[in-house]
């Protein structure tokens, strides 16, 4: 299922454009993203016409011959994409006058639960906030884009709505600070990344707030003295690493 969605996204040119910004100020970028988000929000639950009926998963006929294919329905200013095997809805996306992806898109899981929303501009690049959802409808994550470039932090949520993770991002992944939290709000991990790789000292914590470990990294590999602690603060273990490999001496 996930592989098929990713394949379809590549057809739609879901490309993360890595160009530079123009002369827009942070306030202008924020206003633009908010404008796009309002458009997406207004259409998130908006009904749309479909030729293929929604059928419960347990009652679907599986056509294994079309297991790796998709079926597209064309509806004027939007298209629908269905799984070739059991014809469940996978994607809704709006198109421009040339039938190219442009506007709001929505992704669905195999039970046709909404799992992602976003907005595509020309050449299939993202603008606005890409949001993912749990199958039960709760917000799972959000990440803002401006003309295809990430302009903020990835924020992940527990189903309860509590923040699970805040990570600064760029096109290569986490870049900057990354913090992961327990559901009670206390910090669980505090790391720094450079282009998707750990850099500097990362710290993990027990749920009671005490430090669990201190782990130095260099270019994504453990490098230096890593220390693990017991919940009472006493040292549990010390180990030296060099380029990711444990060594006996400094």
Q: Report pLDDT for 66.
A: 87
Q: Which residues is 8 bridged to in the sheet? A: none
Of 58-67, 73-82, 229-238, minimum mean pLDDT range: 58-67
Q: Report pLDDT for 18.
A: 42
DSSP H or E run through 203:
strand 200-205
Q: Report pLDDT for 248.
A: 76
Average pLDDT, the chain: 92
Neighbours of 161 (CB within 10 A): 9
Task: Express each pLDDT in 177-205 by its tens digit.
Answer: 999 999 999 999 999 999 999 999 999 99
Domain residue ranges of the chain, discontinuous segments joined by +:
1-7+19-125, 152-250
Q: Number of helices (H) and strands (E), helices first, in the chain?
A: 2, 19
- Domain 152-250 class in CATH: alpha beta
Q: Answer for the pair 240, 228: CB distance below 8 angstroms, yes or no.
A: no
pLDDT grade for 2, boundaries at 50, 70 and 90:
low
**Positive or negative torsion for Cα 151, 152, 153, 156:** negative
- Position with higher pLDDT, 10 vs 223: 223
By residue count, the chain amounts to 250
Q: Report pLDDT for 7.
A: 54
Tell me: pLDDT of 20 over 70.
no
Task: Express each pLDDT in 209-236 by its tens digit.
Answer: 999 999 999 999 999 999 999 999 999 9
Tell me: pLDDT of 125 over 70.
yes
């Amino acid at each position: 299922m996930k592989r098929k969605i990713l394949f379809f996204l590549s057809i739609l040119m879901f490309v993360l454009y890595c160009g530079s910004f123009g002369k827009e100020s942070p306030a202008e970028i924020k206003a633009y993203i908010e404008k796009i988000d309002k458009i997406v929000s207004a259409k998130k639950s908006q009904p749309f016409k479909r030729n293929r009926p929604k059928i419960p998963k347990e009652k679907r006929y599986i056509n294994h011959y079309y297991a790796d294919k998709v079926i597209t329905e064309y509806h004027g200013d939007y298209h629908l994409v269905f799984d070739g095997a059991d014809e469940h809805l996978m994607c809704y996306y709006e198109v421009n006058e040339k039938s190219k992806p442009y506007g709001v898109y929505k992704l669905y899981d195999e039970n046709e639960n909404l799992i992602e929303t976003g907005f595509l501009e020309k050449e299939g690049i993202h603008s606005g906030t890409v949001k993912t959802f749990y199958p039960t409808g709760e917000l799972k994550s959000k990440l803002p884009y401006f003309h295809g470039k990430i302009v903020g932090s990835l924020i992940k949520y527990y189903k309860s709505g509590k923040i699970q993770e805040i990570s600064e991002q760029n096109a290569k992944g986490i870049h900057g600070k990354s913090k992961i939290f327990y559901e009670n709000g206390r910090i669980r991990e505090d790391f720094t990344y450079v282009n998707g790789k750990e850099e500097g000292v990362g710290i993990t914590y027990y749920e009671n707030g005490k430090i669990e470990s201190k782990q130095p990294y260099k270019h994504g590999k453990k490098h230096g003295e890593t220390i693990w602690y017991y919940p009472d603060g006493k040292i549990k273990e010390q180990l030296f690493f060099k380029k990711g490999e444990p060594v006996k001496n400094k």
